[in-house]
Amino acid sequence: MINAFLVFNGQGQPRLTKFYTQLDTSIQQRLISEIFTLVANRPKGSCNFLPLPPLLAASSTSTSSSEPHNDVPSLVTYRNYATLYFIIISTSTESPLALIDLIQVYVESLDRLFENVCELDLIFNFETLHATLGEMIVGGVVIETNMEKIVQGVRAQGTVAKRPVNESRGGGMGLGSGLGAGLGMGGNFVWSGR
């Protein structure tokens, strides 16, 4: 199952945190910053999987590697779009390559909802982020991967707000090009699960 879904930007500021098991706020923050240090230092062309952050590794290495524990989070998958990092922490019952696609589905769905999504949309509409995620994953289990249905489900809950007009794209924090540019990369991933 999926243990957590996180989004944060290039400075490590969280944009979405969803933990499917309860954690103290302080530990959540520590985990996020640990993952951020891991993710921020990836050399170019490295894979989309992270070694376990110390917080998680401490508990999982104590079980010998010979007997895999399907309950323990063992996989940290990430994907980088423009200024944002999307992270999934999951157990070994999830397929690593499919998780990469899952992040893609999520981002593409956001893109459809916001039309050319950029980080600003996500900052100001974090409720929509949650709603979109809620249409895809419930309780750590994937319930939908069809983009049409996800978008439809989110729209059924009400109109999706647009980013404030006076907030220019790429302004403020210097978060330049929208995620749309990142989305173009989608084609590179040949193992599309869909």
Partner 1 sequence: MPPRFEKSLYDLIRGLRNHKGNEKEYIQNCLKECRSEIKSQDMDVKATALLKIIYLEMNGHDMSWASFHVLEVMSSPKYHQKRVGYLGAVQSFKTDTEVLMLATNLLKKDLSASSPIVISLPIAALPHIITPSLALSVLADLLPRLSHSHSAIRKKTIVTLYRLALVYPETLRAAWPKIKERLMDKNEDPSVTAAIVNVVCELGWRRPQDFLPLAPRLFELLVDGGNNWMAIKLIKLFATLTPLEPRLVRKLLPPLTDLIRTTPAMSLLYECINGIIQGGILGDSEDDGREEIASLCVSKLRGMITFNGDANLKYVALLAFNRIVVTHPFLVAQQEDVIMECIDSEDITIRIKALDLVQGMVSSDNLVSIVSRLMRQLKTSTNSNNDQLDDLSTDSSEEMGAERRSRKRDEAPPLPEDYTIDVIGRILKMCSQDNYSNVVDFDWYIDVLTQLIRIAPASRKEVDSDGMALGAKSTTADIGESIGNELRNVAVKAKAVRVAAVRAAELIIAKLAMESTSHQVTSGSLKPVAWIAGEYAYHLSNPSDTLNHLLQLIPRIRPPEVLATCLQASMKLFALIAGNDQTSWTAERKSMVSLLMARVIHTYEPLVLHPSLEVQERAVEFTELLKLTAEAASAQAPSTDELEQDPPLLLTQAIPSLFQGWELNSVAVGAQLNVPMPEGLDLDEPIHPNLGSLLAQADSLMLPIQEDDEFAAYYNEKAAPTSISSEPAINRLRDAPETISSGSYQQATEDSYLDADIIARRKAERAERNRDDPFYIGDLGSPSRSQGTSTPIHNILQNENGPDLDIDSIPIMKLDLGAISSSGVGAGAGAPGTYQQPKPKSRPQIVVAADETLVGSRPSTPRTGSQHDSDADPSSTSAKSRAAKKLKQSLLQVDSSHLRNLSLEASQSDDSGALPHEKLAETDAEMAKAMKEVQRLRLEMQRANERIQVAQGVPTEGVVVKSKKKKKDKEGKKAKAKLEGGDGIDDEKEKKVKKKKKKAEAEAAEGAEGGVVIEGEPVGGEGEGEAVTVKKKEKEKVKKKKPKRIIQLDDDAGTGTGIGAEAGVEAGEP
User: 14: how many CB neighbours lie within 10 A of its CB?
Assistant: 15
Length of the chain: 194
Segment contacting partner 1 by CB under 8 A, of 80-88, 108-116, 165-173, 177-185: 165-173
Q: Does an H or E element contain 85, and which?
A: strand 84-90
Question: Which one, 105 or 183, has the nearer CB to partner 1?
Answer: 105
User: Is there binding between residue 20 and partner 1 (CB under 8 A)?
Assistant: yes
User: Is there binding between residue 169 and partner 1 (CB under 8 A)?
Assistant: no
- C-alpha distance from residue 22 to each of 11, 74, 141, 158 (Å): 25, 17, 16, 28
Question: Which one, 65 or 187, has the nearer CB to partner 1?
Answer: 65
User: Is there binding between residue 168 and partner 1 (CB under 8 A)?
Assistant: no
Angle of the 126-136 helix axis to the 147-156 helix axis, nearest 10: 130
User: Is there binding between residue 177 and partner 1 (CB under 8 A)?
Assistant: no
Q: Which of 10, 108, 116, 134 binds partner 1 (CB under 8 A)?
A: 134
User: Is there binding between residue 22 and partner 1 (CB under 8 A)?
Assistant: yes
